[in-house]
Amino acid sequence: MTKINFPSLFQTPLHKFNHFFIFGNDTAVFERAISFIQKKVSSPLAIKTEADLLNSSSSSLSLFKEDSESSLTLVPNVTDKLLPRLEHLQEGIFIFTSEKARAASKLVTHFTTTPQSLAIGAYASPITTSEFEFIAGETHLPDSFKGALFKTYQNDYMGLLCALQKIKLFGEVPEAHYTSFLEGQSSLNDVTPLRNAFLLRDLNKTTEFFSLLTSSDLIIFLRGLTRSFLTLFDLLPYKNAPKTIPWQKLTPPIFFKDVPLFESALLRWKKEEIQSLLETFLFLEHKVKYAAFTLPQVSQTLLAKIVSRETI
């Protein structure tokens, strides 16, 4: 009998199996299981449908083989119709999922009793220490900081991933900055609305969105502003003829929905102001990292740039 619940996956020798079946009622846990298996297999993930398999004859199932025996294929939302085909899938590694299958279903029974197959119950589960070490193990953080992260995000998987991404951008985190990464997620879904308001020199909206930001968002925000104002600097030669801008030839190209934003921003900032801002962004990032600059200090500095009209 080879059936486990999700938390046990991290203590299971996966090399013994080539068919994994994930079932249950928590799609977020589905994603966590798939991510873990993919990383352990160390192979790109191909996605195929049940119909792809059902519409292929037994003799043509070799079409689904990859060059390597460790190829990994995800087949989501499978049903009992797939059962007769499974015996023909001998090459490569497959992950099958079903939100409808229950513990006593034919699919679960098959993957539980078939050699080299593993059934995984995906139900709501807090992050265990094993999963946390797997996710955060390569960050080389001090044990005290890792312990605080684990305690804060044990029931917030996406929050943990977001915090770790911010830490990676930040670099080595001084102890004085620990709390800024333990505040939970920003009230903003992302920093784009704040970036847009700043580009448009909209003092009221920028002030409003700054109030929704957290300290741990500062590096992401400052780097986003830097990229946007570097683009704006490249657009300066077209300031008097914006309709001639080769948007798709820019590096990186501007998404068509952002074209009006940059056309408007181009009219609101002078060359000297953009150059001054780019220097300010670098200065502020350095201060945030190494001088414990706070969110109010950063926001006050940048809001002053919106208000001022520099003449150099």
29-38, 86-95, 201-210: the lowest-pLDDT one: 86-95
pLDDT digits (tens, 9 = 90+) for 177-236: 788 777 655 555 578 899 999 999 999 999 988 888 888 788 888 988 998 999 999 999
Confidence at residue 69, expressed as pLDDT on a 0 to 100 scale: 52
Give the other-Cβ count within 10 Å of 270's Cβ: 14
**pTM of structure:** 0.61
Residue 269 pLDDT exceeds 60: yes
118, β-bridge pairs: 20
In the chain, where the domains are located:
3-122, 129-181, 192-307
Residue 254 pLDDT exceeds 90: no
Residue 125 pLDDT exceeds 90: yes
* Fold (CATH) for 3-122: Rossmann fold (3.40.50)
